[in-house]
Structure 1
Amino acid sequence: MATAVRKTNWFAIWVSIAAVVVLVAVTGIVIAINNKASAPGAAPSGSIIDTDAGAVVFGDTGAANVIETYVDFLCPFCNQFEQSEGEQIKQLVDDGTAVLKVHPVTILDEYTSPAGYSSRAASAFFAVAAADPDNAYAFMQAMYENQPEEQSAGLTADQIVQVAQNAGVNVTSDLKTAITNNSYQSFAQSKGLPADAQGTPTVIVNGTSVKWAQGAGFDFATDITPLLK
């Protein structure tokens, strides 16, 4: 009996190889996209920036008291806090009683149309703090004074640049580019609130969270002063 000759099915082999190549390529693309989404992006640096903490630091780091605020530039309660308590906290910083660490967070990014104002504003804050630390606090105050409403488009890059200039910031071409390009947006988005925080503003004085109710606001004398050394 004649023995049947087994023919190699090269077509099937090449189809299988092609499928594997495509699968590997798709997997690589997915991994690259995921890595890009989770990457913190360029980190700001400067004399008043704590990169690890994602904070802009005002005052003497050796001060007896540490006040930390977690704020969103779109948050109306953060604006309320700045208007009611900001000057008293700034006085503590100016006289060396406390150091203030401001953490700009981006929890309200989806509350503008298009989304992203919170992180654009935080990016601009980091950019100003890196380029002109002496005027970063004034810029922060000015951003609250020009705070857009939720569900609006938010301030444009040009408007943020104008806010900075009006606040006395030395807006160089490099700083304008950093604001316009949202250079630290991904970095800002990679930071967040402390684990036990319920919203913004979150205020921590010497490691103790200040308890407050939204709408009721803070009272410096009863909520913050007792926690100071």
Structure 2
Amino acid sequence: MRRARPSTRLFVTAVAAGTLLLSGCAAGSDPAPTTPPASSASAATPAGATEYGLHSGTGHVSIQLWTDLSCPYCQMLEAATGDIIADAVADGTATLTIHPLNFVSGKHGDATDWSTRGANALAAALDAGEGDALPAFYAILQEHQTLADGTSHPSDDDILAFAKDAGVRADISDAVTSRRFAAWVNASNEHWLGATIAGTHQVVQGVPILVVDGTVIDLSSGDVVSRLQATIDAAR
């Protein structure tokens, strides 16, 4: 399956000789409450989603990713590690769980609400039974972030084309255009911001966060690619 690659100008600044150094997109000092309000709690939930997570694969190694489709650091992380994660899912080693957040669109002044629209599309794919396509679909959506400089503003038709490129065979057009799972994405954001990830001391105060079998991968100290691969291998 074809894997999308992010723009060179972002990738080159993040990756050199296999080393990735990341900061992140912070939500701010006043994160949303971890208990969703009633309006969000009653939101339509995509089939197969659990604890605000979108799952791909059935492998015993758990790879969890907290991410926002408008976060450039999340895009850089996908560029560097996406193939490793996708391969581990595809060969039956790992299960990938994507926990979508959507606070970055607002911080960037994005009137198109790309964070929510993109995560809604991922949820729609899972709901349609297309979990196997999530790694590739996520990669393409990250590649085509809505940018502050106006160079990328994908439409709903673009999202549907991205889904097809990623191997989604089901018709998810109604869910994409109606934003069927937008309230669920909002609830995921509200649930996770300020929460501590189970089995770790990691508090979700921003993105990206990558956890493999309970081990939080340090994204700020370099050698992320080799350490991620080593952690996956050890968890095998």
* TM-score > 0.5 by shorter chain: yes
Deviations 1:149-169 (A, max 9, x none): 147584222221222233332
RMSD value, Cα: 2.4
1:221 maps to amino acid: S
Structure number, greater radius of gyration: 1
* Greater percentage in helix: 1
Assess, with a 3 A threshold, how the Cα gap between structure 1 residues 185 and 207 changes in structure 2: closer, same or farther: same
Aligned to 2:93: 97
Assess, with a 3 A threshold, how the Cα gap between structure 1 residues 154 and 60 changes in structure 2: closer, same or farther: same
Deviations 1:12-52 (A, max 9, x none): xxxxxxxxxxxxxxxxxxxxxx743x44411111xxx323x
Aligned to 1:73: 69
1:144 maps to amino acid: Q
Q: Give the gaps of 5 or more residues in structure 1.
A: 1-33
1:204 maps to amino acid: V
Do structure 1's residue 119 and structure 2's residue 116 form an aligned pair? yes
Equivalent of 2:212 in 172, 183, 205: 205
Tell whether the 8 Å contact from 1:81 to 1:218 is kept in structure 2 after alignment: no
Do structure 1's residue 44 and structure 2's residue 41 form an aligned pair? no
Do structure 1's residue 159 and structure 2's residue 158 form an aligned pair? yes
Q: Secondary structure at the match of 2:103?
A: coil
Question: Displacement, 1:188?
Answer: 0.8
Question: Displacement, 1:197?
Answer: 2.4
Tell whether the 8 Å contact from 2:56 to 2:132 is kept in structure 1 after alignment: no
1:183 maps to amino acid: R
Q: Secondary structure at the match of 1:41?
A: coil
In 2: Cα distance, 1:218 partner to 1:74 partner: 24
Equivalent of 2:141 in 140, 143, 160: 143
Q: Percent identity over the alignment?
A: 26
Q: Secondary structure at the match of 1:139?
A: helix
In 2: Cα distance, 1:150 partner to 1:162 partner: 22
Query: Normalized against structure 1, the TM-score is what?
Result: 0.71
Q: Which has the higher contact order (CA 8 A, sep 6+)?
A: 2
Tell whether the 8 Å contact from 1:59 to 1:94 is kept in structure 2 after alignment: yes
Q: Give the gaps of 5 or more residues in structure 2.
A: 1-36, 197-202
Assess, with a 3 A threshold, how the Cα gap between structure 1 residues 71 and 139 changes in structure 2: closer, same or farther: same
Query: Normalized against structure 2, the TM-score is what?
Result: 0.69
